[in-house]
Amino acid sequence: MKKKILIISGGISKERIISLETGKQVAKELKKNNYLVKTCEPDKDLLSAIKDFKPNCIFNALHGQFGEDGYIQTILETLGIPYTHSGVIASAKAMDKEISKKIFLKNKILTPKYFIYNFNKTNKELVSFVKKKFNFPVVIKPINEGSSVNVYICTKNNLLKNLKFLKDYKKVMIEQFIPGREIQSAIIGKRKLGAIELKPKRKFYDYQAKYNSSAKTEHIIPVDLPKRKYKDLMNITLKAHNLLGCRGVTRSDFKYFKGKFYLLEINTQPGMTKLSLVPEISAYIGINFINLIKLILKDASINK
């Protein structure tokens, strides 16, 4: 009997377009391989779609808020149907950059220094505080967005200007800027998939560099690292995955500077588009797209 897979994609986050593309690519591959597939949005018709379709498993292709912060996972838990990627608590921890950083630091995983800004300082106080704490440049970002949405590298001269773009967020992370190489690594279940290095033509691997093919980010695989350093990278990646209680596939973003790996964040819902990194890493070690999807589905369970 053909397995029924319900793909949830789209949503209301700023990553909606990427989510739709992920859902489209996964659906296309599953249909080619004899699965019965239905795609739906996480809206008022979701429960009806589940009831009518009766899927064997739900593939969560949502990105960003509502999709990977524990919210949709809570709904899926109550339905008792296996779903892909991390569960409620792990998703919530990973999505909140402040919480995940605290966990990394507590467990001796190197991550850039930071503080949380609540728009409660005068302009002069903030610039002075940042300069004293870790100097410029700094990175500013929302604590609960993905895909580098609203992330800015700021100097003393444009910090206040860029913060205005984030004024609708209750809290913003101001983080020490770490120069160096951009390396991302992936886990599936408890297996170390591998890593890839990125050389963006832009200032850093931002939203455009990730999803706009004209941005021409260079992808380097295998990563040119000594064997011992590569082993360290993958051990840190698996450690972070386990510390947050993740399952399924995750991708961790690092900066490599002066022989040290700085973990920026962990992504529990990495993209599955033509430009996505996890499928590229998997393909390099001989796991094609459909087999990667099958591994993700195999790892799906009700996360009690």
Q: Is 145 a catalytic residue?
A: no
Q: Which amino acid is at 29?
A: E
Residue of 60, 68, 265, 282 with catalytic role: 265
Residue of 35, 71, 83, 211 with catalytic role: 211
The tokens for 203 are 């200032």
Q: Is 271 a catalytic residue?
A: yes
- Hey, which bits of 129-286 come out as E strands? 138-142, 152-154, 172-176, 181-188, 191-199, 218-220, 249-257, 260-267
Q: Is 69 a catalytic residue?
A: no
Q: Is 98 a catalytic residue?
A: no
Residue of 35, 86, 87, 251 with catalytic role: 251
Q: Is 197 a catalytic residue?
A: no
Q: Is 251 a catalytic residue?
A: yes
The tokens for 83 are 């779903």
Q: Is 16 a catalytic residue?
A: no
Q: Is 207 a catalytic residue?
A: no
Q: Which residue has the tokens 């990563």?
A: 223
Residue of 253, 256, 262, 276 with catalytic role: 253
**Cβ density class 118-132: b for 16+ within 10 Å, e for less:** eeeeeeeebbeebee
Residue of 19, 100, 267, 282 with catalytic role: 267
Beta strands 218-220; 191-199: pairing state:
antiparallel
C-alpha distances (whole Å) from 267 to each of 38, 67, 264 are 25, 12, 10
**Which residues form the catalytic set?**
15, 147, 211, 251, 253, 265, 267, 271
